[in-house]
Chain A
Amino acid sequence: MRLDVILRVLAKLLIPFAVMFALYVQFHGDFGPGGGFQAGVIIAAAVIFYALIYGLPSARQVVPDALVEAMIAIGVLLYAGVGVAGLLLGGNYLDYFVLAHDPVHGQHRGIFWVEVGVAITVSAVMLKIFYVFAGRRRDAGEEAS
């Protein structure tokens, strides 16, 4: 355990930048390559990196299972909610034109929230898959004891 000091320190240094990069990919997705899916994967990768270095239990403390599961649902709700907002503002479902006074601005606003929803769900699903696989033997052992 004492030998992996380098890994631990490097991980602490790198993870904030990974998350930062994810946010860049997320919010620059309107103008360049990127978007919610890619950003979500990078965020999940940062947490998985943390789990690899510091162990699964500490990762589960930082990002608990319940939060991951809630995030899966919240992302979808956010996406579908943007669609319903379009309905309520007098347009069709997923109609971004009506989301602001200026239609182009409305499109920006719509795609922004949709991509936020995608990022939340994708990162949570990635994490959930990792947690389920990584914790398989551990969780089964807990049940047996």
Chain B
Amino acid sequence: MLNQHLPILLVVVPLLAAPVIVLLRHSLPSWLMATVASIATLAIALQLHQQVVSEGVISYAIGNWPPPLGIEYRVDAANAFVAVIVALIGVFVMPYCRRGVAPEVRAEEHYLFYAMLMLCLSGLLGILLTGDAFNLFVFLEISSLATYVLIAMGRDRRALVASYQYLLMGTVGATLYVIGIGLLYLQTGTLNLADMALRLPTMGDPRATLAALAFITVGISLKIALFPLHLWLPNAYAYSPSAVSAFLAATATKVSIYVLMRYFFTIFGETVVFDARHTGVILLALSLAAMFIPAVVAIFQTDVKRLLAYSSVSQIGYITLGISLHSVGGLTAALAHLFNHALTKGGMFLVLGGVVLRLGGSALDRMAGLGRTMPIAAFAFVIGGLSLIGIPGTAGFVSKWYLVTAAMEEGQWWLAGAVMLSSMLAVIYVWRFVEMAYFRDPPEGHPPPGEAPLSLLLPALLMIAACVWFGLDASWSGGMARLAAEALAGGWK
């Protein structure tokens, strides 16, 4: 009986957990509640994904008002796949929070922290599952507002400024999105995405569609942190609590990328977006800029968290590059990289969180001699770095392989060279850490050798191990990414 309600339960479970946590007020029970809720969420997401793969698209009518009038949740292989990623990261981050958050967030605010994390999770999953354009905006706001609070909870005072910066940029992005929705609503008279996808082709290609496309693309790109719109991201990731950096880096931008894909391929359709105008070329140029410029900036960072943040902007470039190819192969590469990069970057931020806890800061200088004082963490970080570069045997290699293959299918041989060159830049910024950790002596006043507490280390190591696992055996992740890509390109049937 419960199976038919899975789409809504996925969103409602964390949504209900948040107010319950506020009522619990104490740190330990709130953490337990959040952990239970996130595990339940993952179980639901996996079950839902399996159901979609075996039975096809699931439609769920909220309040039993049939779509397109009522709000519909519509699940296919694409959003179920991204939902599994988000829920999975949630489960990895939760056990980490217990010890990881204690030194970073004031004890009397712990329950608020967990409540916000649950709201953020609920918002992100809502964005993924909903089949209603305005409902998507509401969930976008729920997740964004929760994110602003989470970032501001960082112990560094600059966290407040970073959060405020993100708030301004995020609000501009959300506003542009709503304007786009308004234009689409005026034109088609519907907010249901599937209905909109059916009606838009009958309208021809008027200027209002173009305006809506532009507003939605730019608005969502702000949330994605696509290259020139990425300025909020480095500070937001650098000054938020470590667990939040890991969670956001692995989920928030990824969900927005899904939204962009959905609008490009399912709602507007390839003919309007790519064939009628130069969206593909513009996106390609921005992706290339993202692959190179932030990667160069990352090389010159003196703070490892900021280094990882700029690397994220650069890695997002690979994902949008896959979108700009507008082929099933390109989409597969984009979705595979979405999954692999979530694991890699999430894992690296978690490892770094443990290191920061021991060293008291994330400046690169402090990491000197880390290979001797915290050998396991340093090694895990390097493995994650190898995956960022795309060394064979790690998850990063698999997605870059897909990307290069997709580019070659399109006859764009030179893109393979660009991907290679950009990976070289990743080698440099990862090498800076390696040099610091393995070829320098620990500085004066370095804490005595020892690893981070097990509850911090274990989730981090599991994620890094998953990175290697999906690098060696990509049959599940690659297969699911292909199914998701086909679902996106095929439209909601």
Contact = CB atoms under 8 A, between A and B. Distances in A.
Interface residues of B, number: 15
Interface in A49-85: 69-70, 72-74, 76-77, 80, 83-84
Interface string B46-73: 0000000000000011111000000000
B23 A94 contact: no
Interface in B31-89: 60-64
Contacts of A83: 8, 12
B22 interface: yes
A91 B60 CA distance: 11
The 5 closest A-B pairs by CB, nearest first: A73-B19, A73-B22, A94-B63, A93-B8, A95-B64
A96 interface: yes
A94 B22 CA distance: 23
A80 B23 contact: no
B19 A74 contact: yes
19 contacts: A70-B22, A73-B19, A73-B20, A73-B22, A76-B19, A77-B23, A80-B15, A80-B16, A84-B16, A92-B8, A92-B61, A92-B62, A93-B8, A93-B62, A94-B62, A95-B63, A95-B64, A96-B63, A97-B64
B18 interface: yes
B12 A93 contact: yes
A77 B19 CA distance: 6
Contacts of B15: 80
A81 to B, nearest CB: 8
A87 interface: yes
Contact of B12 (A70, A72, A84, A95): A84
A93 to B, nearest CB: 4
A93 B19 contact: no
Contacts of B157: none
B277 interface: no
Interface string B283-317: 00000000000000000000000000000000000
A80 B61 contact: no
Contacts of A80: 12, 15-16, 19
Contacts of A73: 18-20, 22-23
Interface residues of A, number: 20
Contacts of B18: 73, 76
B383 to A, nearest CB: 41
A77 B62 contact: no
B13 to A, nearest CB: 10
Nearest to B23: A73
Nearest to B8: A93
Contacts of B23: 70, 73-74, 77
A69 B22 contact: yes
A16 to B, nearest CB: 29
Contacts of A92: 5, 8, 60-64
Contacts of A97: 64
Contacts of B12: 80, 83-84, 93
A72 B12 CA distance: 17
B60 A77 contact: no
Contact of A86 (B16, B19, B22, B63): B63
Contacts of B20: 73, 77
B168 to A, nearest CB: 20
Nearest to B19: A73
A41 to B, nearest CB: 19
A14 to B, nearest CB: 32
Contacts of B8: 83, 87, 92-93
Nearest to A80: B16
A36 to B, nearest CB: 16
Interface in B76-108: none
A105 B133 CA distance: 30
A72 B63 contact: no
B112 to A, nearest CB: 9
A40 to B, nearest CB: 16
A95 B60 CA distance: 12
A77 B64 contact: no
